[in-house]
Structure formats: structure tokens, C-alpha cells
Amino acid sequence: MKVKFTCEGGYPGEREQAKKVLKVDKEYEAVSCNIGRSNTTVRLEGIEGDWNSCLFKESLNVLGKLPCSYDRSLTAHDAFVRSYPV
């Protein structure tokens, strides 16, 4: 799935680090995500590391279609809410 790097969200340190590796407005191939209680990360094909999903244009509803792992501390309700399209 293609995702567009916008660098508009996330924390300042995450944006700074991402700009060293990724190019703003470029599309990348996302291969998986990890959905946590307060943070969701995306793994990109051919690029080392996990990236905060807030750095990309695509919403969690779109990223949730990728192969995902879930934080074990999430309740069944949290997992349902995160997977429900809005």
C-alpha cells in the first residue's frame, strides 16, 4: 500500500529524524503497521525502522488494512474502535 510522507504530524524529534531519511510529498510502500494504545507505527519497504503514522497522509482506517500487530495492552473494545471506519 502506498503512503504519502507529509511530515505534518508526530513529535518534533520524529519529524526531524524522518526528514533525514524520507522526502516530503513522496510516496512509499508501507508493508506493515503496529497499532498501540497511544502510538501507531508504519514499516516501509526498503527503509529501516518504524515511523509514526502521524507523519503520513493516510489515516489509521487506511493503515489498518495492512498486516498489523496490536499492542497487547489494548482491550477488545479499543481494537474494535480502531478498526471501525468513520
pTM: 0.74
pLDDT digits (tens, 9 = 90+) for 34-63: 887 778 889 999 999 999 999 999 866 677
The candidate with the shortest Cα–Cα distance to 67, out of 32, 35, 42, is 32
Residues of the chain with pLDDT > 90, as a percent, come to 53
pLDDT of residue 86: 44
The candidate with the shortest Cα–Cα distance to 70, out of 83, 57, 59, 86, is 83
59 contacts: CB under 8 Å, gap ≥ 6: none
